[in-house]
Amino acid sequence: MKRSNNIFSMGRIAFILLLVAGFMGFSADAIAKVKSRKVTINTEPGSIIYVDGKQAESNPAEVKVEANTNVIVKVVRKGFITMEKNYQNDGEHEIPREEFYKLEVDEAFNNSVETDQANRDVNIKTGMKEDDAWKMIGHIVTSSFDVIDVSDKATGYIRTGWVVNSFKAATVRSRVIIKIGSSSPLVYRAKVVSEIAKPGTPVGQDEAFKPWDRILRSYENITSDLQSRLMK
């Protein structure tokens, strides 16, 4: 009986070994059949094509994908949403001979302006009395922001709540902070805080937001309004 069990076990082992050998042979044969492929990337004029992080020399660009490798293609254009695709040449994923990348307009970019006044203090000198200046500041700020987080007349400090604008490619949050820089002469420091994060990011997830060198058009004139009206 013991000998019979040994023969049975050896038979099972042999069967498993045959299965493994067959699988390995099949895998090796499948790998051997994969050949290098080429895909021509076309996109609109003004776009830049990157292949595995390196800028392509031309547009369109011919991209070679070696057997059993993958290549990442990224197309970038200012004012448009970046497109990225991974081409896998493993015998299972299809690689077209030619592909056209049509980029979508980046609404966050188109609804904003680039400015060196984003996220920095701008000094605003005024010849008005402090009470009158404070009223003017409150009027200008609340014309653009509905929620005021902090308003302290004694210290001359005001901070609005975040206003969140959601776009397909990004979440943008904006606020204004104003504080007294000097009492004599009376100088205020105004800052438009503009930050950006991935689309769908909750407004309170501070670590996900990064300073943005652009300001949404809704708030681009706040600093200039403060300067012109407080200088009177």
Contact 75, 133 (CB under 8 A): no
Please report how many Cα atoms fall inside a 13 Å half-sphere around the Cα of residue 23, on the Cβ side. Answer: 6
Q: Given a cut of 90, is residue 123 above it in pLDDT?
A: yes
pLDDT in tens, 65-116: 999 999 999 999 999 999 999 999 998 999 999 999 999 999 999 999 999 9
pLDDT in tens, 16-49: 555 555 545 444 444 458 899 999 999 999 999 9
Q: Given a cut of 70, is residue 126 above it in pLDDT?
A: yes
Q: What is the largest CA-CA distance in the chain?
A: 109
Last residue of a domain, one of 105, 131, 148: 105
Last residue of a domain, one of 51, 76, 105: 105
Q: Given a cut of 80, is residue 232 above it in pLDDT?
A: no
Q: Which domain holds residue 153?
A: 110-230
The answer to whether residue 12 is domain-embedded is no
pLDDT in tens, 140-177: 999 999 999 999 999 999 999 999 999 999 999 999 99
- Whether residues 222 and 121 share a domain: the answer is yes
146 Cβ partners below 8 Å, 6+ apart? 161
The answer to whether residue 16 is domain-embedded is no
Judge if pTM exceeds 0.85.
no
- For CA atoms 84, 88, 89, 92, the dihedral sign is negative
- Whether residues 128 and 210 share a domain: the answer is yes
Contact 80, 167 (CB under 8 A): no
Last residue of a domain, one of 52, 87, 105: 105
Q: Given a cut of 80, is residue 4 above it in pLDDT?
A: no
What Rg, from alpha-carbon coordinates, does the chain have?
31
Residue 157: enclosing H or E segment and its boundaries?
strand 157-160
- Whether residues 85 and 170 share a domain: the answer is no
pLDDT in tens, 195-225: 999 999 999 999 999 999 999 999 999 999 9
Residue-level pLDDT at 16: 59
- Mean pLDDT along residues 116-125: 94
- Whether residues 224 and 183 share a domain: the answer is yes
Q: Is 154 helix (H, G, I), strand (E, B) or coil?
A: coil
- Give me the number of domains the chain comprises: 2
Residue-level pLDDT at 2: 46
Residue-level pLDDT at 46: 93
45 prior amide bond cis, ω within 30: no
- Whether residues 149 and 203 share a domain: the answer is yes
Residue-level pLDDT at 34: 83
